[in-house]
Amino acid sequence: MAWLNGRGVAAVNYPTGMNLGGDPSQALIHATTTGGFVITLSSVDLGQGIKTVGAQIAAETLGVPYENVVIDTADTDTGPHCMGTFASRGTHRIGNAIMMAAREAREVMMSVAATELEVDAGDLVTDGKGKIHVNGAPDKGISVVDVALAAHFKHGKTISGRGMFMKPKSEVVPETGEMDPDSCQAHACTVAEVEVDDETGEVRVKKLINAYEIGRAMNPALAHQQIVGGAWMGISHALYETTEPYYPDRGHGPTDFSQYLMPGPGDLAEMESVIIERPAANGPYGAKGIGEMTANSPIPAIANAIFDACGVRVQSLPITPEKILRGLDSLREQSNPTH
Give the range of 23-31, 159-167, 216-224, 331-339 binding another protein by CB under 8 A: 216-224
Among 77, 136, 251, 257, the residue binding another protein under the rule CB under 8 A is 257
Query: In whole angstroms, how close is the CB of 239 to another protein at the nearest point?
Result: 14
177 contributes a contact to another protein by CB under 8 A: no
Q: What backbone phi and psi angles, to 5 degrees, belong to 114?
A: -65, -45
Phi, psi of 4 (to 5 degrees): -105, 135
Using rule CB under 8 A, residue 49 touches another protein = yes
Count of CB atoms situated within 10 Å of the CB of 205? 26
- Burial of residue 136 (CB within 10 Å: 0-12, 13-18, 19+) is exposed
Q: Does 261 bind another protein (CB under 8 A)?
A: no
Q: Select from 57-65, 97-105, 124-132, 226-234 the region that touches another protein (CB under 8 A).
A: 226-234
Pick between residue 204 and residue 278 the one whose CB is nearest to another protein. 204
CB 243 within 8 A of CB 286: no
Find the shortest distance in angstroms from Cβ 34 to another protein.
23
What are the Cα distances from residue 119, in Å, to 123, 126, 135, 146, 260? 7, 14, 11, 16, 66
Classify each residue of 144-179 as buried b or exposed e, where b means 16 or more C-beta atoms within 10 Å of its C-beta: bbbbbbbbbeeeebebbbebebebeeeeeeeeeeee
Q: Does 50 bind another protein (CB under 8 A)?
A: no
Q: Using the rule CB under 8 A, is 229 a contact of another protein?
A: yes
Q: Which residue's CB is nearer to another protein, number 45 or number 123? A: 45
Separation between Cα atoms, residue 250 and residue 247, nearest integer Å = 6
Indicate the pairing of strand 137-143 with strand 185-197: unpaired
233 binds another protein (CB under 8 A): yes
The yes or no reply on residue 122 touching another protein (CB under 8 A) is: no
- Which part of the chain contacts another protein (CB under 8 A), choosing from 10-18, 41-49, 110-118, 123-131? 41-49
Tell me if 47 contacts another protein by CB under 8 A. yes
Residue nearer to another protein on the CB measure, 46 or 281: 46
| C-beta atoms surrounding 265 within 10 Å | 6
Do residues 66 and 60 touch, judged by C-beta distance below 8 A?
A: no
Residue 95 touches another protein, criterion: CB under 8 A = no
Compare residues 14 and 232 and give the one whose CB is closer to another protein: 232
We find the least distance from the C-beta atom of residue 132 to another protein, in angstroms, to be: 32
Q: Are 124 and 114 in contact (CB under 8 A)?
A: yes
225 binds another protein (CB under 8 A): yes
State how far the Cα of 99 lies from the Cα of 117, in Å rounded to an integer.
26
Among 21, 122, 251, 266, binds another protein (CB under 8 A): 266
Rule CB under 8 A: choose which of 122, 177, 248, 265 binds another protein. Answer: 265
Residues with Cβ within 8 Å of 282's Cβ and at least 6 positions away in sequence, in order, are: 92, 96, 183, 184
Nearer to another protein, 83 or 227 (CB): 227
Q: Which of 256, 281, 316, 337 binds another protein (CB under 8 A)?
A: 256
- Smallest distance from another protein to CB 219, Å: 9
- Cβ atoms of residues 53 and 214 within 8 Å: no
Chain residues 300-319 in contact with another protein, contact rule CB under 8 A: none
Q: What is the dihedral of CA 222, 283, 296, 2, to 10 degrees?
A: -60
Which of residues 31 and 231 has its CB atom nearest to another protein in the complex? Answer: 231
Q: Exposed, middle or buried: residue 123 (CB in 10 Å: 0-12, 13-18, 19+)?
A: middle
**In the complex, which residues of this chain contact another protein (CB under 8 A)?**
46-49, 221-222, 224-225, 228-233, 256-258, 262, 264-266, 268, 271
